[in-house]
Structure 1
Amino acid sequence: METPAAPTFRFAHYLTVQPTDIDELHHVNNVRYVQWVQDTAAAHWHAAAPPEAQAHYVWVVREHHIRYLHPALLGEELRCTTWIGEVRGAQSQRFVRIERAPDGQLLCEAETQWVLLDPQTKRPVRVTPEMVERLQEPV
């Protein structure tokens, strides 16, 4: 997985590793990284999209590609940074980098393909240029 350079605007979400995130090897379980990737995308959508858009659309994961590089440990503060890549039809590519906040050490990087749905019909909906613009603006 080659992560392209992030655009000028990126959305950052911070968290602190909790005891429930830790596995039997005394570091963050890989499943928690997947959850954080999804949580970061959701936080960005909720910060960028107006309430009416949030009520009329829902994003679902089509595919994740995740690379784990270094472990995260109990009590560490992490910075989860995301940005949008290519948008085609109802699909949007999103990148997430999870770093240790104090020193910027890259722990995990992910590329996810998301699909925009109408929550009533569960059918794909085309991502509009206005949505892309909102997701690329500072919030």
Structure 2
Amino acid sequence: MQVYENFITVSDSDLDSLNHVNNVRYVQWVNDIAKEHWQKNATPNMLKDHFWVMINHCIEYKSSALLNDQVKLKTFVIKSEGVTSTRVVEMYNEKNEKLIARSETNWCFMNSQTKKPTRITQEVIDLFK
């Protein structure tokens, strides 16, 4: 399983009224890193012909991220079959390696022309092995 990583430094705009990262921001980060991973691995034709949409999302919050924390995001695909794929995103405090949040998200593979779900090919599955 291929793991993709990126880092984010928490800014003022990420915070809620409790001065913790807002839950909505975590969902945005899940979406962003999934998109980055797809764009990094996919061929130009794959990017032109297909896209992904989030169909359901479960996130567990384990600890808080605060202003100026460096957050390490790790993502990997655990299952792909038919038209759906399941991706995990883990977020860690880079300083102490403490798990902040873990999400499991199901995505649907879409045809860019028809805007309809399409079967995930072996070529696409192999991008994330």
**If the length of structure 1 is used for normalisation, what is the TM-score?**
0.90
- Does 2:10 match 1:17? yes
> Equivalent residue for 1:107?
100
5+ long unaligned stretches in structure 2: none
> Equivalent residue for 1:4?
none
> Equivalent residue for 1:40?
33
**Distance (whole Å) between structure 2 residues aligned to residue 123 and residue 133 of structure 1:** 22
Q: Determine helix, strand or coil for the equivalent of 2:35.
A: helix
**Distance (whole Å) between structure 2 residues aligned to residue 86 and residue 17 of structure 1:** 30
Q: In the TM superposition, what are the counterparts of 1:55-134 in structure 2 within 5 Å?
A: 55-134=48-127
**Distance (whole Å) between structure 1 residues aligned to residue 121 and residue 104 of structure 2:** 21
Please state how far the C-alpha of 1:13 moved relative to its aligned partner: 1.4
Aligned-CA RMSD value: 0.9
Give 1:36's aligned amino acid: W
Please state how far the C-alpha of 1:120 moved relative to its aligned partner: 2.0
Contact 1:70 1:108 in 2 (8 A): yes
Q: How many residues align?
A: 129
Contact 1:49 1:135 in 2 (8 A): no
Contact 1:100 1:106 in 2 (8 A): yes
Please state how far the C-alpha of 1:10 moved relative to its aligned partner: 0.7
> Equivalent residue for 1:3?
none
**Distance (whole Å) between structure 1 residues aligned to residue 108 and residue 114 of structure 2:** 14
Q: Determine helix, strand or coil for the equivalent of 2:52.
A: strand
Q: Determine helix, strand or coil for the equivalent of 1:108.
A: strand
Give 2:126's aligned amino acid: E
Give 2:88's aligned amino acid: F
**Distance (whole Å) between structure 2 residues aligned to residue 112 and residue 81 of structure 1:** 13
5+ long unaligned stretches in structure 1: 1-6
Higher strand share: 2
